[in-house]
Structure 1
């Protein structure tokens, strides 16, 4: 019967269009799921082409909400009923729902659809730490290396820090070097302090200590360093990890640790990683593809303990990157944003190790960007014998910084009419004489401690 045989209201037509869209989305959803499943089965057939297994039946797709509920809640009694002796646990789970995403619908149109990711009972139980349920499934013959969504259950147990499940999978023959579609091995999923036991289990069962990721060419030591995991780094080094391997960006694990942005509460972890790497022989002078050294990166992320450590291991304060920036440039760019990281400690250490100073004409610009860290400004200005303070200096300091640190900035601005003190000039001359040797020579001088600290630019809260 033709559409023109009836009188359709606009509401009825819209309803028909909605129904049609729903049917199209359901059709696309089934096609998408079928595509993922067929792709998985094709890979499995190629991988398992041995004659002995050629007659093995493919795993069934399970959409049963009762089975899924038992798996996701770790209900062992329900699973014992659902997977009795003689049954198979080799299932592909198609979760209900999922995240919405835009997918092409043809003719240049896009529609919202649920993103379905195929998984297995092993993945669900292993990632949630349901050890007893996982053991039951393995006893029922579940394929330990099954990876319909591109990752094996072992990857997910490591990612979710489930050491007991990780060990159980390995005992049942899981491949410790299984590679995901993104080119990651299980060790690359050990990215948090809680995953240490998982990493230890993997190494005991033959995980490749220097295995590389496909995209970035990172080793597990790169991953541990970049995530600030000192115990992981120590473990990997004991198993023979290469301490100075480079990834695709030219980063060694030491550079990777220094290059990672760090919150205040993470500074100590990253310091311990660098300490461990340097003790194992890491090169403090290594450079990445942009000629950035570990010291450049540590200054950029304002970790004063790492800066002190690198300088103690011979890092050069005046190495230049391809952009012409020295470590001093990097810390001055970040001083106001990293006040809680004590950037003044870094500026002080660099100057005491012979760092180049800022061109005097650029001091107003530095003042503008660093005025939120008055201690950084104090250390910086005390490296000069004279300062030409002008109205530009006053304009460079924000009203907020001036209000919060009024006394300090008034002492700076007063230098417009007052020369530096004789005490400071004497300090300056000694520092020039000991240029590059201050950090070694001053502690050996037979002087009171407060004078030594003064020579090494200790903070006083004002400039004189």
Structure 2
């Protein structure tokens, strides 16, 4: 139809123009909606593909593994460029051996295989730059294919900077391993103090209990001899009376951990801190053993003196009917370098029940390598009946090594004790249980005070 065929009135032309505008507007809206739908679909597909990309996958590429284990940042950047998946799972060799049967019924001793990630490896080895790169590329800080997170690994190896990075990227300071340990439980080295501080700053629970043995970080620090960690936890409100599943408090843990002579002062300092903070010295564990029993087991004279000075029960029996004196006499010959004779003397001075005279030959047989222990025990009696059984109880080599002392001991079979010794025994009976406190108040010369306190003379008279 053309304009020349017939004429349109003005209202008709206006109506036609409005209709054309409506059609154009509809086409525009339809096209705009189509573009929005297309954009939304593309975004969803991209998001889905990114999620699939960041899912953990096994890594069998030895080049990637070598770069990660060596901390080669440039190689990692080339092998794991922007947009690649950094959530890789690597099968590594564990530290423990186990028997495996692969085929034909043949068993072999091989290392356990553990699952780890690049984040765990770099955090545990202290590769800070590599760790930062992986975190910036979206590595999952909570990934724990082997049962523990990268933060656990950093704290276990005392990698302060790595722990700080992981915490800043959202690592959970209270994450637990498959054995129930939090990162704070794994701070077991003196160098891990800053890791512990960071964990507490980021909200770690100072009284969090381990699922396996119900121990708190304070138990762990006390048993590992970490003085500064103990101070840190006490300042942050650690419970000093929390008992683990064996009934042991942190004071028990500090007293019961075996240690060498070079560590005796550290463990004494920890016990002193705990006692000063209010730790009970009377709490017994499931076996009815107090911290004093434990200190006698580890043969630490300093801790024994500390506990006795604060009123520890010197004659309390465990479920095995053992007093602290029984324990130290059994273990003395295995810890001669720890000066067990000092513990025996302290226990006796604080009122330990004396050994039954009929059992003295047996004690002599077990403790003959420490003549000073025998000296202390003998000097608690005003007289003893020495027989041939006593002489037979001492090994010839020991008898020869300490000839002077044992000659003076066996001479008592033919003569009475000295008057000076008899007076000492009488005074000690009168001061029973209070000897270390009462003797300094008697105003006696130092020599006589030491004599009453059974200071070692290396002979008996």
TM-score (norm 2): 0.86
Other-structure match for 2:156 = 159
Other-structure match for 1:413 = 410
Give the Cα separation in 2 of the matches to 1:130 and 1:418: 76
Q: 2:352 aligns with which of 346, 352, 355?
A: 355
Other-structure match for 2:278 = 281
User: Are residues 1:294 and 2:297 paired?
Assistant: no
User: Are residues 1:316 and 2:313 paired?
Assistant: yes
Give the Cα separation in 2 of the matches to 1:373 and 1:68: 57
Give the Cα separation in 2 of the matches to 1:325 and 1:112: 42
Residues 390 and 416 in structure 1, CA contact (< 8 A), matched pair in contact too: yes
Give the Cα separation in 1 of the matches to 2:95 and 2:201: 36
Which residues of structure 2 form unaligned runs of 5+?
Answer: 1-47
Post-superposition offset of 1:393: 0.6
Give the Cα separation in 1 of the matches to 2:412 and 2:244: 50
Deviations 1:5-53 (A, max 9, x none): xxxxxxxxxxxxxxxxxxxxxxxxxxxxxxxxxxxxxxxxxxxxxx9x9
Give the Cα separation in 1 of the matches to 2:211 and 2:444: 58
Deviations 1:87-120 (A, max 9, x none): 3311111237987632356998755566321110
User: Are residues 1:123 and 2:120 paired?
Assistant: yes
SS where residue 311 of structure 2 aligns?
coil
Give the Cα separation in 1 of the matches to 2:98 and 2:355: 51
Q: 1:148 to 1:459 in 2, by over 3 A?
A: same
User: Are residues 1:170 and 2:167 paired?
Assistant: yes
Post-superposition offset of 1:418: 1.5
Q: 2:145 aligns with which of 145, 148, 164?
A: 148
Post-superposition offset of 1:83: 2.4
SS where residue 95 of structure 1 aligns?
strand
Give the Cα separation in 2 of the matches to 1:312 and 1:301: 18
Q: Which segments of structure 1 move beyond 4 Å, counting only runs of 4 or more?
A: 53-57, 96-100, 104-114
User: Are residues 1:344 and 2:341 paired?
Assistant: yes
Other-structure match for 1:249 = 246
User: Are residues 1:331 and 2:333 paired?
Assistant: no
SS where residue 435 of structure 1 aligns?
coil
Residues 63 and 95 in structure 1, CA contact (< 8 A), matched pair in contact too: no
Aligned residues: 414
Give the Cα separation in 2 of the matches to 1:242 and 1:164: 28
Deviations 1:93-150 (A, max 9, x none): 1237987632356998755566321110011011111111111111111111110011
Q: 1:356 to 1:200 in 2, by over 3 A?
A: same
Q: 1:85 aligns with which of 73, 77, 82?
A: 82
Q: 1:437 to 1:319 in 2, by over 3 A?
A: same
Q: CA RMSD in A?
A: 2.0
Look at both structures and tell me which one has the larger radius of gyration over its CA atoms.
2
Post-superposition offset of 1:64: 1.3
Which residues of structure 1 form unaligned runs of 5+?
Answer: 1-50
Deviations 1:288-321 (A, max 9, x none): 0111000011011110000111011110101111
